[in-house]
Chains A and B, each alone.
Chain A
Amino acid sequence: MATQDAGTLEVVGATRRFGAVTALAGVDLTVRRGEMLTLLGPSGSGKTTLLKIVAGFETPDEGAVRVDGRDITMAPPAKRDIGMVFQNYALFPHMTVAENVAFPLLMRRIPRAERERRVQETLKLVDLPTHGGRLPRQLSGGQQQRVALARAVVFDPQLLLLDEPFGALDRQLREQMQLEVRRLQQRLELTALFVTHDQEEALVMSDRIAVMGQGQIAQLGTPEEIYRAPSSRFVAGFIGESNLYRARPLDDATAELEGGMRVPLPHKWPGGTGDLGLMLRPERVRSLGPDDAADIAFDGLIEEVVYLGETIKYRIRSDDGRLSVLARWPLHEANRILSSGHRVRVGWRSADMHSFPWS
């Protein structure tokens, strides 16, 4: 399969309103060649609207969509050369697996011999070489998913769109399919736009993630950047678990948390812009010995215990009642399970926190 013509996707100032509701408010986005970019956000964040605009099922009120510099904003879906995997696969129930996969080739008037060769090749690629004669309903959920994927890539599209494709699968299969889709996308060097509301899935699948909220991109970055350094409260709250504190800056290096505790800041704070938010990942909270020191340290009581198998989560409240923190620690022999009411001393380095403007 040729990959040289895989495209760059550009969305410029895309805006879409439904009556009084603005679903998409001037979004700019570039997906690079061969990149898997994920649109991550809660329902109503505009991610599906953006995907539909790229696919051609919606027309933006303002803005443009370009593939390799070619403006396709007004092009009908059939003329866009985009492969799409739908939420519920949307396999044609009256066609066999092979007929489903051949459909985009048939629509492109590709001769029969060539068609059959490519269908067979693609079915092999998704590990279903002998299933061509079956009907979709005779396949398992994971197999149907693979057929949908084969149908979306068989015609060597410039762009692959995936709309929450793993929603209908159980957890184990979902994880397996995530890796398979990722592998296939990398192998074919396809430019891909992936929509999901599942943050774990986004972290696993993506080269870059665009976190969306209220019709805008709240943050765009690699999974690691988004997880480590969220740019706002919204992103911090949406990706992974976190302790979020509101703080008042005292100078460019210190701030006072809402309960009154003073903490050193992880980054130099420019100041003057009102309150700031401090985020701390639960796995960065450390258990301290009685005399250990840390940038931030306090004695407290375990209020709540959540057993998660490999790890355990504790909610700990400081003795003075000013601070409550969620800690997650790995469970191994040295770490026995503590029960609620147990006294602990915890702390963390200032650099383990991440700061951003509160508003």
Chain B
Amino acid sequence: MSASATTPNELRAGALRRRWWRRHRDGFGSLAAAGPALLFLLVLYLIPMAMLLAQSFEGASLPHYQKALTDDLYLRVLFDTLLIAACVSLLCLVLAYPVAYALSILPSPWPAVGIAFILLPFWTSVLVRTYGWMVLLGRNGLINRMLSDLGVIETPLPLLNNMTGVLIGMTHVLLPYMVFPLYAVMRRMDPNLAQAARGLGASGWDVFRRIYLPLTLPGVLAGMTLVFVLSIGFFITPALLGGGKVHMMAVLIEQQVRMFLNWGFAGALSAVLLGATLLVYIVLRRLLRGNMQWS
């Protein structure tokens, strides 16, 4: 092998390099385009989170995690958080499904109008909307006053400062996250499919159960994932509408930091919450992928 001449092996290596570059050129291009956003996330999200998590580890015995994962109170709150998230997801689904369906079949200008009505509150601050619910749901709030004026009730319904208030408020705030994925799936539905099913002998219920629901399931799972994951970390609404009686993880974490300055324990609770969120996300993602096989 001479030193000056290019050997076949070197030629080959060069060709391979070029081929590799050609294959990955676009990938690098999009990486460069996403750069600023990635940098933003890295500096303002990932690094602080890593710092918080780092504080949660204290020696080899991990006392914070021991407390977070064995103490009844914290397990209870974790369970409540997941339960509330699940309830909110289901409530959103039940409310959003007919809305999305109506939007998907309305003639031309109306879907846009409907979407505007959904987006307007969506763009309003969560704080403002939550205070709005306090006005409506309170002991002497609009709803209770109206019901007692109509003679429907004698004592005011407990709508605020409890689980009911939290569920109502969270469902309201998160509803658009369910409506939009559902609407997107439903709008793409071929109306011939339902017609074909009816022609082949299916009743309205059969059409829904065997054709419409399975075909909109990807939207259902996408919406549920969004709402569930967002619910788990909810802070303002449960803090204000729960009146200190409904405990969710985010509220607890904030307490640890603000009142007890216990950064280590707050970090451990955050890690547990993050872990639970990821777990749920992965499970729903699996379901979604298994279901999407046909599309």
A-B contact pairs, 19 of them (CB 8 A): A56-B199, A77-B199, A78-B201, A83-B200, A84-B200, A90-B193, A90-B195, A93-B294, A94-B295, A95-B294, A103-B197, A103-B200, A103-B202, A103-B210, A104-B201, A136-B294, A137-B294, A137-B295, A151-B200
B200 touches A104 (CB 8 A): yes
Is A94 in contact with B214, judged by CB distance below 8 angstroms?
Answer: yes
Whether A107 contacts B201 by the Cβ 8 Å rule is yes
Q: How far is the CB of B198 from chain A (nearest CB, A)?
A: 5
Kindly state the separation between the CA atoms of A7 and B111 in the bound complex, as whole angstroms: 44
Q: Are B206 and A107 in contact (CB under 8 A)?
A: yes
In the bound complex, how far is the Cα of B195 from the Cα of A76, in angstroms?
11
What's the minimum C-beta distance from B197 to chain A, rounded to whole angstroms? 7
Asked whether A78 lies within 8 Å of B215 as measured between CB atoms, the reply is no
**How far apart are the CA atoms of A117 and B206 in the complex, in Å?**
23
B197 touches A92 (CB 8 A): yes
Complexed CA–CA distance, A95 and B197 (Å): 12
Instruction: A332 to B293: give the CA distance in the assembly, Å.
Output: 55
B202, A84: Cβ atoms under 8 Å? no
A307 within 8 A of B: no
The answer to whether B211 has its CB under 8 Å from any CB of chain A is yes
B190, B201, B211: the one within 8 Å of A108 (CB): B201
Interface string of B70-87 (1 = CB under 8 A from A): 000000000000000000
What total of A-B pairs shows CB separation below 8 Å? Answer: 67
List of A residues within 8 angstroms of B215 by Cβ: 92-94
Verify if A329 is at the interface (C-beta below 8 Å from B). no
Q: How far is the CB of B273 from chain A (nearest CB, A)?
A: 35
Across the interface, name the chain B residue whose C-beta is closest to A80. B199
A178 at interface by CB-CB < 8 Å: no
Q: A interface vs B, CB < 8 Å?
A: 55-57, 76-78, 80, 82-84, 86-88, 90, 92-95, 103-104, 107-108, 135-137, 151-152, 155
Question: Closest residue to B291 on the A side, CB-wise?
Answer: A94
Instruction: Give B291 Cβ to nearest chain A Cβ, in Å.
Output: 8
Residue B30 is within 8 A (CB to CB) of chain A in the complex: no
Q: Across the interface, which residues of A come within 8 angstroms of B294, CB to CB?
A: 93-95, 135-137
List which B187-223 residues lie within 8 A (CB) of chain A.
190, 192-193, 195-203, 206, 210-211, 214-215
| Contacting residues, chain B, for A137 (C-beta < 8 A) | 294-295
The answer on a CB contact under 8 Å between B199 and A55 is yes
Choose one: A84, A87, A93, A94; the contact of B199 (CB below 8 Å). A84
Contact B202 A90 (CB under 8 A): no
Q: A223–B182 Cα gap in the complex (Å)?
A: 49
Chain A residues lying within 8 Å of B198, measured Cβ to Cβ, are 57, 76-78
Q: How far is the CB of A79 from chain B (nearest CB, A)?
A: 8
Which of B273-295 touch A at CB < 8 Å?
293-295
Taken together as a complex, chains A and B put the C-alpha atoms of A137 and B294 apart, in Å, by 7
Interface pairs A-B: 6 shortest CB-CB: A107-B201, A90-B196, A104-B200, A90-B192, A94-B294, A77-B198
Question: Could you tell me the distance in whole angstroms from the C-beta of A146 to the nearest C-beta in chain B?
Answer: 16
Docked pose: A88 CA to B193 CA in angstroms: 10
Task: Contact check, A92 vs B193: say whether CB atoms are below 8 A apart.
Answer: yes
Please name the residue on chain B nearest to A81 by beta carbon: B201
Select from chain B the residue with minimum beta-carbon distance to A163: B192
| Chain B residues with CB under 8 A of A155 | 200-201
